[in-house]
Structure formats: C-alpha cells, structure tokens
Amino acid sequence: MKIFGIFGDPIEHSLSPAMQNAALQTLGLDACYHPFRVPQDKLKDALLGAAAMSFSGLNLTIPLKEKALELDILHPDDLAAAIGAVNTVSFGPQGKMSGHNTDGAGALLALKDAGVRIKGSNVLLIGAGGAARALAYTLEREGAEISIANRSLPRAHELAASVGAMGFCLCDLDRLVPQSDIIINATSVGMRDGGARLFDSRLIKEKHAVFDIVYNRETELLKDARAAGAVAIDGVMMLVYQGAKALEIWTGLKAPVQVMEKAVRDALQERQKKATAAE
C-alpha cells in the first residue's frame, strides 16, 4: 500500500485527507492519505521518517511551507524556489525529496473559475506567509497590480520587493480596500469561529471580487462580501486544484477534480451538522 499524508500544526482542520482518499479510491490505487501534526522544529525529523518509511508523497501546510526551504534534505524545483515555499513533497530513488508548490496554480484556477479578470486588476493581498508568496508570484506573472498588507511590515516589504509590488501594514487596510478590485485573504484569520475581521465590512462594495483561501468554514469576510453583492470565492476550489496538481505529481495520473470537490464539500457539510448538533 502506498502512503501519502499532510504535515501541519494545527492539522485537525484539514480536509485534504477526505479529498485525497476519495481521489485515490476513484483512481483504483491501493493507497491511503493521513494527517500528521508536525511542529516546525520537528519538520526535518518528520520528513526523514517519512522517507525511511517509504511514503509516496506529502503535502505541507501552515506553518511549514517556508520552513521546508531551509532544510538541506529537500530539493525545491525552480517554481518552489522562486516562490519561496513548498506545499508538496515527492520522493524519488533512495528517498530523495523534491519540493514543489501547487498553491499558485490552484488559486489561479479558482479565480478564473469564478470569472475574475486578473490582468490589469488592482489586487490587495493580505498576508505574507507561504500561501501568500505563491499567490503573489502567480498574480504578478498574470499581470496584476499588487499591494501586500501584513501584520509584520518588514515581511510585507520583503515579499513585495520580490514581485514588484508595494508593502503595507494591516493598519493601512481601510485605505487599501476601496482602491482594490480583488481582495485576497491569505492569512489564517477566519479559520475559527469568533467573528474575527481584518477590516470594516462596510468597505466591501459590489465592484469587489473577494477571495478567502480559508476553506474549512464560511468566513466573516466571505459573509460580508456576499452581503455587499460582491463576488465571493471560498478556498475550496484552490484546495481542490492544488491537491489535484499534487496528486498528479505523485502518481502521474489525471486527478478526478469533480470527485475531490464533492468530497471536500460533503465533509464540510458533515462538519457543520456536527457543530450544529453540539450547540
């Protein structure tokens, strides 16, 4: 049996196991996909352990995507090196580990699915972590004008400089939102219940396209976008498309995208039912 998995911390929110196990079953492979909680300081040990146990592939999520590039045991491809983050690991002969990044491709397909025009658009990207790096790199290649706002201003400036964008702090959001065509949340804000908002919801207008990469729940940002009549895009299709690309890297087979989307949305509905029942 082939073993695949996802490393992250936290990891209990991940729907990648439901998605990838459905895909593996549809493809008729004798394989399974499991989640593993791995702190940053244990990533190297975890990757070496996976290689020793002949894992066939891994995904990395928060907060491991950038950390992976610091490890001498992992060899990033040109795209992952340019982005500065790894979200997919493949294993070659003698356990050689290669790093890839499929986040940018996944986000781009999700935006295009929703009919969002990227070239020439003013994009406000909130966040400067691994997913934000992939988005910034991809959007720049698509011809977007990008502003990057982040809690840490130096990190915003560093990422902005790498893609010819402008860097700002979160305190600038009230000024940046009205100037934007596309608003993208690439932070973990909204991942948990609690009503957290990055900025005043009244700033969102019908003209906006709002994309939140959080996929495990409908975030306050997306609720505000729908209420304003704006285009609202959740993170499900980004998850599906990046996962499909990862699966194709590992297996060489065409991923069953529709099966993967259904598995994610079914799992989300089941999670919501349990949460409602527990209230």
Question: Hey, which residues are catalytic here?
Answer: 65
d(C-alpha 98, C-alpha 145), whole Å = 31
Do residues 83 and 104 make contact, with C-beta atoms less than 8 angstroms apart?
A: yes
- 70, 74, 5: which is closest to 38 by C-alpha? 5
For residue 273, count other CB atoms closer than 10 A to its CB.
10
Give the 3-state secondary structure of residue 127. Answer: coil
Let me know how long the chain is: 279
For residue 272, count other CB atoms closer than 10 A to its CB.
12
Please state the φ and ψ torsions of residue 98, each to the nearest 5 degrees.
Answer: -115, 140
DSSP readout, 187-240?
SSTTSSSS---SS-GGG--TT-EEEE---SS--HHHHHHHHTT-EEE-SHHHHH
d(C-alpha 113, C-alpha 125), whole Å = 19
DSSP-assigned beta bridge partners for residue 182: 123, 209
CA atoms within 13 A on the CB side of 265: 11
Dihedral sign from CA coordinates of 40, 10, 247, 243: negative
Question: What does the block give as tokens for 225?
Answer: 């976008």
